Copies of this chain bind each other. A is one copy, B any other.
Amino acid sequence: MNQKIVERWGVYETAIKLLNPFENPYSIVQLEAIFRSGERMVKVNGFYDGDDVYKIRFMPDAVGPWTFSTSSNVPALDALTGEFDCTDAEAGNHGPVRVASRDSFEYADGSPYIPFGTTCYAWVHQSGALQEETLEALRNSPFNKIRMCVFPKRYTFNVTEPALFVFPGSKEDGFDLERFEPRFFQGMERRIEQLAELGIEADVILFHPYDKGHWGFDRMSPDRDEFYLRYVIARLSAYRNVWWSLANEYDFMREKRKEDWDRLFQIVQENDPYGHLRSIHNGTKMYDPESLVLYDHSKPWVDHVSLQHWDLTVVDSIRRKYGKPVVVDECCYEGDIPRRWGNITGEEMTHRLWEGTIRGAYVGHGETYMHPEDIIWWSHGGELHGTSPERIGFLRKVLEVAPRNLTVIDTIKDVPALGIQNDYYLLYFGIHRPIVRPIQLPEDAAYTAEVIDTWNMTIKPIEGTFSGDCAISLPGRPYLALRIRRSMQ
């Protein structure tokens, strides 16, 4: 596997076979490589992939010739060199996503990225056939981000032991936390690549509480946590669509304290040469001055807020507090299971997406319908059954044809508004249904207005044009948005 050509933000990989003289190559062998292009130098860690194979992966971010050389504590792996050419990115490859402003993301090539996430926590721990089904559903969905766990999930509806784990072993026989199971990662990597092909970001959840000691991955020692993180990062960070979610519902992981999260964040930051997005997702409330557990999202290694909250009006204060993009990764799921977080309607799910979006956040979808075989999208993937994804696609289209850099316009009262002052306004009324909307527009321009029915997915022009202090009549039913645009003169 000696690639000679790699597209920009693609994965360069080199594999070195070395008959294995070590009892535990995962812990004994140190391998790193420095990649160079002109003045630029990037250091990456290699990893042992099993079967006597060591690998180095790298994501070039600049077009042109690159060289590399290795260093290792094993002579046979030390001072190896290589070279390849980095070509322009192919269509559909915009590079990794980064924070573009306090309210927005963009791809590395400068094109906009508007997150429309969903959640299938344990999809890579399901059967291959089910994983294929999930990919097919994602292909036909509006989603461009997915939250997914490295560790398997033990929880209501999640009681089947997966075939492969991060570590070799099983619940019955125990796990060897000093080694890894490359076959598990090889499978996961293939899924991450397939997601990239679909234009979907993989929001990789590194720790979670849905274990409670069943396997014990939620309560490993600090050394094992670090050992695990360094391996995951060495393997996955060359995939452009990876994001690091330090944990799901971190505040439910009672074995870890705030200081632990500081340390784990810094391990990720130091070992990921590309600076993939980093966040940590809360389980209950977002902040509480007296809490020993809740994490301060203003810390510099947190790129964006990954919020759980059912009330999207909370976005206003979270945005102000942190000044970072807010992704509401969980706000209840469309479904009908008994749990409170998993039985809202498609209408309500759609409404929450709109509400959070117009308040300047990015809201994620999830689905939890009862299923005869307990195959539930939120955890297992499979098929989508709900009514909200189609409407989320409609919202996505509305935003994609809007001007870039929409911001929250808080001078407009009684309704959240996103827009560009004097040019473009998107107001969302939600459960509110005034029959008239007063608005102050500049006197010296004419504006057109349209009523957007967020559920029926229609956009209807309102007769006339508007200027100055005016009042726009509305149909007086819930779940409408109003789009106001400056007319071309």
> CB-defined interface of A278-317 with B at 8 Å, one 1/0 digit per residue?
0000000000000000000000000000000001000000
Count chain B CB atoms within 10 A of each CB in A348, A413, A432 and give the residue with the most.
A432
Q: Are A339 and B431 in contact (CB under 8 A)?
A: no
C-alpha spacing A138/B344, complex, angstroms: 36
Q: Are B345 and A437 in contact (CB under 8 A)?
A: no
Q: How far is the CB of A347 from chain B (nearest CB, A)?
A: 9
Q: If A311-B311, A370-B436, A436-B370 touch, does A431 touch B348 (CB 8 Å cutoff)?
A: yes
Q: How far is the CB of A359 from chain B (nearest CB, A)?
A: 13
Instruction: Give the residues in chain B near A340, CB-CB below 8 Å.
Output: 413-415, 432
User: What DSSP secondary structure best describes chain A's contact surface?
Assistant: loop
Residues of A426-468 whose CB lies within 8 A of B: 429, 431-438
C-alpha spacing A345/B311, complex, angstroms: 19
Asked if A21 lies at the interface with its beta carbon under 8 angstroms from chain B, I say no
Q: Are B336 and A414 in contact (CB under 8 A)?
A: no
Q: How far is the CB of A57 from chain B (nearest CB, A)?
A: 44
Q: A336-B476, A338-B438 are in contact. List 6 more A-B contacts (CB 8 A).
A: A338-B434, A339-B434, A340-B414, A343-B429, A344-B433, A345-B431
Q: Which residues of A contact B (CB under 8 A)?
A: 311, 336-340, 343-345, 348, 370, 413-415, 429, 431-438, 476, 478
Cβ-closest 7 pairs across A and B: A340-B414, A338-B434, A336-B435, A343-B434, A343-B432, A336-B476, A348-B431
Q: List 22 A-B contacts (CB under 8 A).
A: A311-B311, A336-B433, A336-B476, A337-B434, A338-B434, A338-B436, A338-B437, A338-B438, A340-B413, A340-B414, A340-B415, A340-B432, A343-B429, A343-B434, A344-B432, A344-B433, A345-B431, A345-B433, A348-B431, A348-B478, A370-B435, A370-B436
